[in-house]
Structure 1
Amino acid sequence: MMFERIAPEQHDTLDGVPEPAENPHLYGHEQAVSMLTAAYRAGKLPHALIFAGPVGIGKATLAFHLASYLLRHPDHRNAPEAFVAPDPGSAQFRQVASGAHPGVLHLTRPQNDKTKGFKTVVTVDEIRKVSRFLSMTSHDGSYRVVIVDPADDMNVNAANALLKNLEEPPARTLFILIVHAPGNLLPTIRSRCQTIRLTPLDDASLLSALAGTDQLAPDEPQARAALVERAGGSVRGAILLTQYGGLDIADALDKAVSGGRTGIADAHKLADVVAGRDSAIQFEIFNRRALDLLAESAADAARSSELARANALADAWQDAQNAISETETYNLDKKQHVLAMIDRLNAAMRM
């Protein structure tokens, strides 16, 4: 069956892969679902939630499934103990997916009219939509749900504007903040939300999720095992690895980092592949693998009680993250970024 996209394109949209708003399938996170439905059925659902966890594990999909659950069961006393998969043919599903439902507001990075791409942050103008959204009376007394995805991307003005909305929310309003790194949020925002930490998908859920998006894993057992290990429980990570040359990019980066001076030619070759005009996703894959290498090395050092090295690698990870953000924010030369990142990795690995 041909996939029909009805959700607006996002800054991280992948061809042929449903957006969270239009994905009728939710894989994993059973414990979180059970906790959320129990709280709602008891009339004790918090007014603000943080769904925290790695990129691509289904945090936003969970948020939209929770929104669907609340809209379908406005009386908490009659709500079921589990989510029921939404019907893609229903009017409610299509309204939510297309961004037209009066009870759901989805805020993310807006389009950049100058570049025809997307801005690098969730802007204050996006957050200002919350006040207008909440000022409209719900037609049937059901919940209104605000989903900020990802909340990590809010700039300072946007974060402060959201904080005002969180301080005195109207009744039957739920804020859901999708967060990859909770430490990036203002402490005052974190203190007004209940954090639900979501874990990477197990192997079976990951492979089921891949099949559910028609992105098939390799048939060969060794290649499939390598994909599962590299993906780290992230469906998005697995799709990037299989459909966008991610495994080759990761292998090439590993080779460039371990090659020392003999890796210079490999580094330039890799930079040409991931820093081209139409290589935004490949550039994302490269940066993610670079961060993973530093994080894995820091974790190994900590397990070996090499605390000074672990701290140095953690600092290198933060420096790398800052370099990625600056390159995206200021549209810096991507090839130079790639070559500098490989140098940074080589230096860090030799600490």
Structure 2
Amino acid sequence: MIFERIAPEQHDTLDGVPEPSETPRLVGHGQAATMLASAYRSGKLPHALIFVGPVGIGKATLAFHLAHHLLKHPASEQAPEVLAVPDPASSLFRQIATGAHPSVLHLTRPPNDKTKSFKTVVTVDEIRKVSRFLSLTSHDASYRVVIVDPADDMNTNAANALLKNLEEPPARTLFILIVHAPGSLLPTIRSRCQMVRLTPLDAESLMTVLESVEPPPPDDPASRAALAKRAGGSARTAILLTQYGGLEIAETLDALATARKSDVAGAYRLAEA
């Protein structure tokens, strides 16, 4: 099956790998997902959440799945006790994935027109979109969801602008901050959010993710175990190791580093790779 991207390209997009907004399956994080679904059903969902954990474990994917759940089930007391599984054929899924849904605002590093790439920070101009977004009346009285991804990348002005929005959030508004290192956030922002700690994926979950992209993970158990160990629970790292020959490069580097005699030819081959 050929993957067709419908989400806008981002600063960390990988070829042939779905963006979090267009990933229909959430791998791992079942306990956190159930906790969030239960909090919503009981009317106790906080107005601001921080999803914290290492890079590439599915924090943003969980954020978009939660947004989908809130919009699919606007009456919280009638919502199921588990997060709804998005249907890629549905208009709701496609609207969220393409960035066209009026109730979901995804803020990340914006394009840099001068360099034709992306800026290195989440700018204050991006955060200013929040006020405009929240000033619009929700089209069906449903939740409005703001996802800052990653919030680590906000500069000081952007962080202060976000803080103002967090201090007096409108009703039925949810902020989700994707954070790799919580120490990078202002303490005043952290104090206004409930932190949800997400753990690295286990080896089985990593292989499940890899089997949905090209090339698939190696077949033999030893190579799979080596790949899982090097990935450290990060699906993103596992994909990079698989797609770009990273596992072979890492093993060659280890061999060079532990060799008793310097291997100049091997070092040149590694540099070329």
Q: 1:231: how far off?
A: 1.1
Bigger shift: residues 178-187 or 208-217: 208-217
Q: In the alignment, which residue of structure 2 is the partner of 1:139?
A: 139
Q: Is 1:179 matched with 2:171?
A: no
Aligned residues of 1:143 and 1:173 also touching (Cα < 8 A):
yes
Residue in 1 that maps onto 2:210: 210
The residue identity in structure 1 corresponding to 2:9 is E
Return the letter of the residue paired with 1:68. H
Equivalences for residues 91-110 of structure 1 within 5 A:
91-110=91-110
Question: Which runs of no fewer than 5 residues in structure 1 stay unpaired?
Answer: 274-351
Q: How many residues align?
A: 273
C-alpha separation in 1, matches of 2:40 and 2:263? 56
Structure 1 CA distance for aligned equivalents of residues 37 and 83 of structure 2: 8
2:196 is equivalent to residue 196 of structure 1: yes
What per-residue deviation string (whole Å, max 9, x for no partner) do you get for residues 121-164 of structure 1?
Answer: 11111111111101100011100000011111111111111111
Distance (Å, rounded) in 2 between the aligned partners of 1:193 and 1:254: 42
SS at match of 2:66: helix
Residue 48 (structure 2) pairs with residue 68 (structure 1)? no
Mark the CA change 1:36 to 1:215 in structure 2 (over 3 Å): closer, same or farther: farther
Query: Are the equivalent residues in 1 in contact too, given 2:13–2:19 (CA < 8 A)?
Result: yes
Superposition map of 1:53-132 within 5 A: 53-132=53-132
Q: Is the 8 A contact 1:25 1:212 kept in 2?
A: no
For the structure 1 residues 15 and 137, does the alpha-carbon distance in structure 2 shift closer, same or farther, using more than 3 Å as the test? same
Distance 2:263 2:185 in 1: 38
Choose 125-134 or 256-265, whichever is displaced more: 256-265
Where relative contact order (Cα < 8 A, 6+ residues apart) is larger, the structure is: 2
In the alignment, the residues of structure 2 paired with residue 113 and residue 217 of structure 1 have an alpha-carbon distance, to the nearest angstrom, of 37
Report the alpha carbon displacement of residue 199 of structure 1 after superposing the two structures with TM.
Answer: 0.4
- Tell me the TM-score normalized by structure 2: 0.95
% identical equivalent positions: 73
8 Å contact from structure 2 (residues 11, 109) kept in 1: yes
1:182-237 Cα deviation digits (max 9, x unpaired): 11111111111100000011122111122133541101221111111111111111
Task: Identify which range, 125-134 or 258-267, moves more after superposition.
Answer: 258-267
1:255 touches 1:263 (CA, 8 Å); kept in 2? no
Which runs of 5 or more residues in structure 2 are unaligned? none
SS in 1 for 2:145: strand
User: Could you give the per-residue CA deviations for residues 281-303 of structure 1, whole angstroms, max 9, x where no partner exists?
Assistant: xxxxxxxxxxxxxxxxxxxxxxx
Q: Which runs of 4+ in 1 moved over 6 A?
A: none
- Cα 1:108/1:226, change in 2 over 3 Å: same
Deviation at 1:260, TM superposition (A): 8.7
Aligned to 2:13: 13
1:4 positional shift = 0.8
Superposition RMSD on alpha carbons, in Å? 1.7
Q: Secondary structure at the match of 1:192?
A: coil
Displacement of 1:264 in angstroms is 7.0
* Contact residue 95 and residue 101 of structure 2 kept, 8 A: yes
CA deviation after TM superposition for structure 1 residue 259, in Å: 5.5
Distance in 2 between residues matched to 1:112 and 1:18, nearest whole Å: 22
CA distance in 1, matches of 2:100, 2:21: 11
Closer/same/farther in 2, CA of residues 155 and 100 from structure 1, 3 Å limit: same
Q: Is the 8 A contact 1:52 1:178 kept in 2?
A: yes
DSSP 3-state at the match of 1:3: coil
- For 2:259 and 2:195, the matched residues in 1 are separated by 42
Q: Which amino acid aligns with 2:247?
A: L
1:222-261 matches, within 5 Å, as: 222-258=222-258
SS in 2 for 1:212: coil
Deviations 1:264-314 (A, max 9, x none): 7766664554xxxxxxxxxxxxxxxxxxxxxxxxxxxxxxxxxxxxxxxxx
TM-score scaled by length of structure 1: 0.74
CA contact (8 A) 1:39 1:45 kept: yes
Does the 8 Å CA contact 2:146/2:175 hold for their aligned counterparts?
yes
1:27 aligns with 2:27: yes
